[in-house]
Structure 1
């Protein structure tokens, strides 16, 4: 059996390949063929590159925003439950009055 040769690419090459694949109008598969890289490898590089960019700066902000929104929604939910209970009691009271 033959051993597959594992290619190692520099970080600069990977970054340039991702930039070319994302910014060009041609399909990613075609860009991969032109670069001599497996299509799945290029997709992996793209995912890692874009994941690194978005998660570094925005994840902390998004998490804080989501936490604040969750707190606000829980307060609103508690208020609405109280209002519902009050309306149930009022409806029961007025039902007794009309009989």
Structure 2
């Protein structure tokens, strides 16, 4: 089975990174999972780095709740990202009145 990949250059020189479509990644991960093949052999067949494919497989396992103990699922990572953004926005909302209070306290002290 041969798969075609779309690749785009990111950066320059010999240290090029490639970006692959999600469908391509899913196909590669599905082949590794269903066939039980070694990641290195499957990576060679797909024309990707073994480490890259290993990361895709690891992310897929985590997304299914089958990752290593303590590893967050995809949904948990997304929720954590959302909560951190919300926390940052709330901290900024609190910071503005605090700075205004400090400014006016200095002004009234003159």
- TM-score if structure 1 supplies the norm length? 0.50
Gaps of 5+ in 1: 58-99
**1:17 paired to 2:31:** no
Larger Rg: 1
Aligned to 1:34: 45
- Structure having greater relative contact order (Cα 8 Å, sep ≥ 6): 1
**How many equivalent pairs are there?**
57
Question: Counterparts in 2 of 1:1-99, with a 5 A limit?
Answer: 2-54=13-65, 55=73
- TM-score if structure 2 supplies the norm length? 0.46
User: The residue matched to 1:6 in structure 2 has which SS?
Assistant: coil
Relative to its length, the structure with more helix (as a share) is 1
Structure 1 residues 56 and 6: CA distance shift in structure 2, 3 A:
closer
Take 2:48 and 2:35, find their aligned partners in 1: how far apart are those partners? 16
Take 2:74 and 2:31, find their aligned partners in 1: how far apart are those partners? 22
Gaps of 5+ in 2: 1-12, 66-72, 76-110
